[in-house]
């Protein structure tokens, strides 16, 4: 619904059909549904791409954290004291 609101918001003025649909006096027909869904999918593609990039970055950071934790564990297992001067 929010995406539909954004599509309709960016138009100059609502059409008579849009006013009737918003008031519940008219239902979407197949051609109108297809038009709005196409616009919504196009605009949502950028959002999906941003989430995919965020997921990749999150995975990389998780791997780096595991590497650091593994190094600390290795140092502790060898009896090396860890403090800020080691880095």
List the domain boundaries for the chain: 2-86
What are the angstrom distances between the C-alpha of 10 and each of 3, 59, 73, 85? 11, 36, 55, 57
Give the torsion sign (CA, 68, 69, 74, 76).
positive
> What pTM, to 2 d.p., does this model score?
0.40
Q: Are 54 and 64 in contact (CB under 8 A)?
A: no
- pLDDT at site 49: 82
The secondary structure of residue 85, as a DSSP letter, is G
- Does residue 9 have a pLDDT over 80? no
pLDDT tier, 76 (very low <50, low <70, confident <90, very high otherwise): confident
- pLDDT at site 40: 80
- Does residue 26 have a pLDDT over 60? yes
């Amino acid at each position: 619904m929010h995406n539909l609101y954004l599509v309709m918001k960016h138009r100059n003025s609502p059409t008579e059909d849009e006013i009737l649909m918003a008031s519940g006096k008219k239902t979407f027909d197949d051609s109108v549904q297809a038009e709005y869904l196409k616009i919504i999918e196009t605009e949502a593609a950028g959002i999906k791409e941003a989430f995919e990039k965020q997921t990749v970055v999150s995975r990389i950071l998780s791997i780096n954290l595991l590497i650091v934790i593994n190094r600390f564990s290795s140092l502790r297992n060898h009896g090396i004291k860890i403090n800020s001067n080691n880095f």
